Amino acid sequence: MDKRELIARRVAQEMRDGYYVNLGIGIPTLVPNYLPRGIEVIMQSENGMLGIGPYPYEGEEDPDLVNAGKEPVTEIPGCCYFSSADSFAMIRGGHMDVCVLGALQVDEKGNLANWAVPGKMLKGMGGAMDLVAGTKRVIVAMEHAAKDGAPKIVKKCALPLTGLEVVDLIVTDLAVIEVTPKGLLLREVAPGITPEAVQKITEPALLRAPDLKTISI
């Protein structure tokens, strides 16, 4: 299975009926494809929409209807629209259940760096700082290591931070790791991957859950 699909499928298992969810760009956008059957999860878009539908058919795009990535989308029955101020009252006021974001680095305290790419001009944080500060549960969905093999789960983030002690769960192509007050807890490993192999490309020492499981899709 494709790495990105594995991550999205595992994140989808975290969703519960009735959740209000905000998804970041990249891997998180794949999550709705794999939601468990029989549950209703409402997707929020921070530009002012609850109830995002699938992408439109060619020729049926509406310039007044876009997602937070500015792509044309559609609405589902029960959808509603609101202003940016109301949208961020939902996000900053603790009304959103889950947000799923990508990351450049996450550290053992749950600090997150995901908005400033090294060596490039700052492009802006968009709504990411608000989302990680205000959402009840923050899930990072990312490949375990960078393209050059460098760990992305580090002892201390070196890149500019998005939020301090904000991450609750890290889902990668190799493992599911929970951020706990005692440190990073390895809960699940991908099929065919040993805990030692995960540790090898993870900078901080991982605690091992007594009931360590294999990711089951």
Partner 1 sequence: MDKRVANADAVIGRVRDGATILMGAFGLCGVPENLISALLRQGTKNLTVVSNNPGTDGFGVGLLIENRQVKKMIASYVGSNKFFEKLVLSGEIEMELNPQGTLAERMRAAGAGIPAFFTPTGYGTMVAEGKEVREFKGRPHVLEPSLRGDFAFIKAWKGDRWGNLVYRKTARNFHAVMATAADYVIAEVEEMVDLGGLDPDGVHTPGIFVDAIFQGTNYVKPMEPGPKRKRDEG
Burial class (CB in 10 A: 0-12, 13-18, 19+), 129: middle
Interface map 43-72 toward partner 1 (x if CB under 8 A): --xxxxx----xxxxx--xxxxxxx-xxxx
**Would you say 72 or 151 has its CB closer to partner 1?**
72
State the DSSP H helix or E strand holding residue 212, giving kind and residue range, or none if neither.
strand 207-214
In the bound complex, what is the minimum distance in angstroms from residue 94's beta carbon to partner 1?
Answer: 10
Q: What angle do CA 8, 214, 184 make, to 5 degrees?
A: 80
Q: Which amino acid is at 207?
A: L
In the bound complex, what is the minimum distance in angstroms from residue 80's beta carbon to partner 1?
Answer: 10
Residues of 81-92 as b/e, b for ≥16 C-beta within 10 angstroms? eeeeeebbebbb
**Would you say 129 or 193 has its CB closer to partner 1?**
129
Q: Which CA distances in Å does 108 have to 60, 111, 154, 166?
A: 46, 7, 7, 11
Residue 160 binding partner 1, by CB under 8 A:
yes
Whether 46 is catalytic: yes
Q: Which CA distances in Å does 33 have to 3, 12, 173?
A: 15, 8, 17
**Would you say 39 or 80 has its CB closer to partner 1?**
80
Q: Looking at 5, 40, 46, 60, which residue is catalytic?
A: 46
Residue 95 binding partner 1, by CB under 8 A:
no
**Would you say 60 or 148 has its CB closer to partner 1?**
60
Catalytic residue annotation: 46
Q: Interface residues with partner 1 (CB under 8 A)?
A: 45-49, 54-58, 61-67, 69-73, 75, 81-85, 87-88, 91-92, 111, 116, 121-130, 133-134, 160-164
